[in-house]
Structure 1
Amino acid sequence: MANTPQSKKRARQNLRRADVNKARRSRIRTYLRKVEEAIASGDQAAAAAALRAAQPELMRGVTKGILHKNTASRKMSRLSSRVKALSN
């Protein structure tokens, strides 16, 4: 348990940050799920629109420290290639 005033404050801050980060992570996953559902339905227009909406959310996750830059890039690359494959 935290003993010093500084460590008590850090513990409080960590709890608040964890809640914020959890909300951001959930928001990113929601956008990714919408892209997955659009891909599963086979509608390329809807999938492309969902991907365009998800892209800024992923990048925001990178700037906020939720995701690593390469992880977000890999997810975008794989999703965009799957959306592109729907047109064939």
Structure 2
Amino acid sequence: MQQHIYYIRYALQFADMQIPELVTVFNRQVGNRGWSSMRAYHDLALIDEFQRRGIDISMISDGKAISFVHSVKYDLIANRLTFID
């Protein structure tokens, strides 16, 4: 299946970012209840980038849905996203 051009644009942007930058991008979405196809491409590309880097995202995703309820931080030792206390 061919990826949508906006997904590709976001995926390329995220591929150039460091992990702390990706975390910041994720945290900007926390509490945002708006929805559009552009946000869907953005969020999917972001999550895919975390996964591409082998980062454990089980705190924010069950494999079917993504939760933007809590801000996260990156735990370097465990290579995973965790909730900010």
Same fold (TM over 0.5): no
TM-score by length of 1: 0.38
Q: TM-score, normalised by structure 2?
A: 0.39
**Larger strand proportion of the pair:** 2
In our comparison, the structure showing a higher alpha carbon Rg is: 1
| More contact order relative to length (CA 8 Å, sep ≥ 6) | 2
